[in-house]
Structure 1
Amino acid sequence: MSHYPAILFVCLGNICRSPSAHAVFRHKAKAAGINVTTDCAGTQGFHKNAKPDQRAVSAGTARGYDFSGLHARKVVADDFEKFDLILPMDHTNLADLIDVCPPEHQHKIQLFLSFSDCDEEAVPDPYYGGAKGFEYVLDLIELASDGLLEHIKAAKQ
């Protein structure tokens, strides 16, 4: 990558995990002085234009992350061309993206947690769980965000 990448974070409905990843990574990239383009989307359009889940916002805000300007949207065909990295939260989102992505852009898609050193492969969906689930999701997202920043820094050298 000779330029700073445009990154799309993807989950199912785009109200919990992907907006959390967007908010966390945007914050960490800014703090590191890395100018990236970020967005988030869902593989499904259940919550079109909805704000992020209040439980995700509460957990993230408590850690200093800003969710302003984020609204749910579905992945669209142009996303595969526009973004350099498309980072789904779990294997189902990965498979759904691969199914609709043109072959020439499939190399851009990889699990978000592939940038972390944790034992998890996927960010679990906290939607039907309690507050601890949202905290755990943030823990994983922070790890992967740090790893992604290191990857971007290394690619710039």
Structure 2
Amino acid sequence: MKLLVVCLGNICRSPMGEGALRSRIARSPLAGRVTVDSAGTAGWHEGKAPDPRAVACARRHGVDISALRARPLQAADFRAFDHVLCADRSNLEAARDVAPPSLRGRAVLWLPWAGIAGTDDVPDPYYGDEAGFEHSWGLLEAAAAATVARLSAQAESGIIGP
């Protein structure tokens, strides 16, 4: 199973989401069976490290995302990944615009897909302060936990495989 976390610039939400998801997967029965990456619907930051505030936020929660580098979402990602987990509705629409028509359904809003109720979007903390990053982290961490639970249930049914 391969998962791709997507936001706008791939320097805040999607690397934090990738880090939260990787950390959760590594501590679960899915370790070694699910891979995670991240991308952005805009290529402005290609090759750059995550925003220092995102790195600091993840680090406060025991996750190191400092080695990640931004990259743009590409049509080929829809063939390479089983699910494209979008941070918000705007990026979902942008991702589906990039997707080959037959694979557009792989792009989903991550929070509802994971079963998180109450909000569909992870707010972009880029123009905010530390509290905004913490709020986004909380949503991403909840989505990561729910994703691991969802995929673990599938693993028990034999969908993911041994």
Q: Same fold (TM over 0.5)?
A: yes
Q: Tell me the CA shift for residue 66 of structure 1.
A: 1.5
Distance 1:14 1:75 in 2: 9
Aligned to 2:135: 136
Structure 1 runs (4+) greater than 2 angstroms displaced: none
Is structure 2 residue 27 aligned with structure 1 residue 31?
yes
Per-residue deviation, residues 5-57 of structure 1 (Å, max 9, x unmatched): 10000000000000000001000000113121110000000001000001011
- Give the CA RMSD over aligned residues: 1.0
Counterpart residue type for residue 142 of structure 1:
E
Aligned residues between the structures = 153
Moved more, 49-58 or 64-73: 64-73
Rounded to whole Å, the distance in 2 between the matches of 1:100 and 1:62 is 34
Unaligned 5+ runs, structure 2: 158-162
Task: Report 1:5-154 matches (<5 A).
Answer: 5-34=1-30, 35=32, 36-114=34-112, 115-154=114-153
Encode CA deviations 1:128-152: one digit per residue, 9 max, x unaligned: 0010000000100011111111110
- Matched-pair contact (CA < 8 Å) for 1:90–1:123: yes
Query: How much identity, in percent, do the aligned residues show?
Result: 39
Shift of residue 65 of structure 1? Answer: 0.6
Query: Within 1, Cα distance between the matches of 2:94 and 2:138?
Result: 25
The two structures have a TM-score, normalised by structure 1, of 0.94
Aligned AA for 2:122?
Answer: V
Measure, in 1, the Cα distance between the counterparts of 2:107 and 2:101. 11
Could you tell me which runs of 5 or more consecutive residues in structure 1 were left unpaired when the two chains were aligned: none
Amino acid at match of 2:142: L
Shift of 1:120: 1.2
